[in-house]
Amino acid sequence: MAKIVYYSQTGQTRKYVHKVKQYQAIEITPSNFEIEMNEPFILVMPSYEPNIHPIVTDTAAEFLETKCNLTLCKGLFGVGNRNFANLFCITAKVLAKEYNLPLLHQLEFQGTASDVTKLEEELKLIEQI
């Protein structure tokens, strides 16, 4: 079964991810990123400018580089605030480009019902592959 992996510094991303009830969600942190995945997953990342808050991007990168995680990652969802302008969902954009992964969706704050549905739909698509 597909899974959700996420990073949440302030709790906004965690609140969004926990709205998706039927899929297991795994939180990565700077002290807990060496988790070896054995099933496909979508990575959900908050927006933190990499040059100012490198720990967020670095933690996600180290997680993706653990064992076979990169090959099991089927894409990214970015969470942010549109007031950030070009930094909206920047962490997900940077990781998608750096690791050649699809940026599947971008959403604000804790997401809307349609943002939750989008994540559920993407997870279901992964399971059909």
**Residues 62-102 pLDDT 10s:** 999 999 999 999 999 999 999 878 889 999 999 999 999 99
Contact 12, 109 (CB under 8 A): yes
pLDDT range class, residue 51, cuts 50, 70, 90: confident
pLDDT of amino acid 121: 97
The C-alpha atoms of residue 40 and residue 93 are separated, in whole angstroms, by 20
pLDDT range class, residue 113, cuts 50, 70, 90: very high
Q: Where are the domains positioned within the chain?
A: 3-128
Polymer length in residues for the chain: 129
62 φ, ψ to 5°?
Answer: -65, -35
pLDDT of amino acid 54: 85
Those residues whose C-beta lies under 8 Å from the C-beta of residue 75, and which sit 6 or more positions away, are 42, 43, 96, 101, 102, 103, 104, 122
pLDDT of amino acid 79: 96
Is CATH 3.30.200.20 correct for 3-128?
A: no
